[in-house]
Structure 1
């Protein structure tokens, strides 16, 4: 269940595979980063691409040492994670 005002986080197949391979400490770092994205889905920097709709965004959390490539659905209710780097 998603808290009111937060976007739900979903994973593309490739990101879900990456998630399965993360250590427990990396998963905790990723979870803290995903909370930030769910509260403010537009926080990531837009990635210049040719025609990707919706546009991809990159959020890098320097403290947690996590980078997430994602896009946000049109209604801003779901952030779909495409790539994880921990």
Structure 2
């Protein structure tokens, strides 16, 4: 019998502007952001749609992070365009 697995995660890719922002974060900020990205990879519908675009905007007020991203049509890859922590 196979083990019970959790939801399938999407692969997460950060584009250049997000990578540049990530390089400026402290270790604590990166850790908080990592939790948000894991949540998005499991549930890409967490963020609110940005009107007129394919983007979604996820803000976690507890950890104080914001991620702007979009999800590929097969929901297998999440592209992160902007991070804030």
With structure 1 as the length reference, what TM-score do the two structures score? Answer: 0.88
Q: What are structure 1's unaligned runs of at least 5 residues?
A: none
> Does residue 9 in structure 1 map to residue 8 in structure 2?
no
Deviation at 1:29, TM superposition (A): 0.2
Number of residue pairs aligned between Structure 1 and Structure 2:
80
The runs of at least 4 consecutive aligned structure 1 residues that moved more than 2 Å come to none
With structure 2 as the length reference, what TM-score do the two structures score? Answer: 0.89
- Higher Rg: 2
Q: What are structure 2's unaligned runs of at least 5 residues?
A: 1-5
Separation in 1 of the partners of 2:34 and 2:15? Answer: 16
1:26 to 11, 24, 29: 29
- 1:1-86, aligned counterparts within 5 Å? 5-49=8-52, 52=53, 55-86=54-85
